[in-house]
Amino acid sequence: MARFITGNTFGTTDTVTSTTLNNAVNNAKISTDSVDGSTIEVNSDALRIKDNGVTLAKMATQADQTVLANVSGGTAVPTAVPIVDNAGILINNDSLGTDDTKGATQGNIKAYVDTTAGPTVGFNPTSYTGGETTTLPNGLTIKFGSITSGIPSFGVEGTITFANAFDTACLYANIITNNYNGVGNANNTIESVSVSNIKYKHGMNPAVTKIYWQAIGH
């Protein structure tokens, strides 16, 4: 360790006066013969820490899942800033939220991307498990299905009612019959569409036994 030496020392019987004491203090110098040169050095008779003298081992301990940073918005002393981990601090591990004073882990970012930008993100449902409706990420909704009963005879208007209505509008509809009449008028027509149903007529005589239908809206 460093030790102080002076150019004006006292003997065992010297009288200490304000002048000699002041001289001793003013002339005090730092001896470098016992300074640990690996971490500290003497500069103009003052001890200072070398640039490589501050190591991780010499820093104060800090809480788990934190980093040293400044999130004050201006110049400030660094503080321990929390890292939002992937083990439960984030709701469902996928919502980074709006707290811009916290850091995120690789696990958070992956979970967020997988949940908000993956191949099935935005689809409702995310995987097909049955039912007539699928909603695309842009909000467009596709309804589809088939009917085997309530089919009217040739040229008579029929109705296909959706299990769940569109929120705003039906933009497109189509029907396909399960057989073909090669003689006479075999046209299928969409008479009208609404948020809740399709009005149609088929051109089969005798009547068909199954109609496949599709509607797109939002």
Number of domains in the chain: 3
Rounded Cα distance, 212 and 154, in Å: 16
Q: Give the tokens for residue 26.
A: 């003013």
Task: Say whether pTM exceeds 0.85.
Answer: no
Whether the Cβ atoms of residue 207 and residue 152 lie closer than 8 Å to each other: yes
| 147-148-149 Cα angle (round to 5) | 100
**C-beta atoms surrounding 132 within 10 Å:** 15
Residues 80 and 32 in one domain: no
Residues 163-198 pLDDT 10s: 999 999 999 999 998 876 655 445 789 999 999 999
- pLDDT digits 0-9 by tens, 101-153: 677 777 777 777 777 777 777 788 878 888 999 998 888 999 999 999 999 98
Same domain as 161, residue 143: yes
Copy the structure tokens of residue 39.
């971490």
Residue 81 and residue 100 in one domain:
yes
- For residue 50, give its domain range: 3-9+17-57
Tokens standing for 40?
């500290």
- Per-residue pLDDT of 29-63, as tens digits, reads 555 555 556 677 766 667 777 777 777 777 778 88
With 0-12 / 13-18 / 19 or more C-beta atoms within 10 angstroms meaning exposed / middle / buried, residue 201 is middle
3-state secondary structure of 102: coil
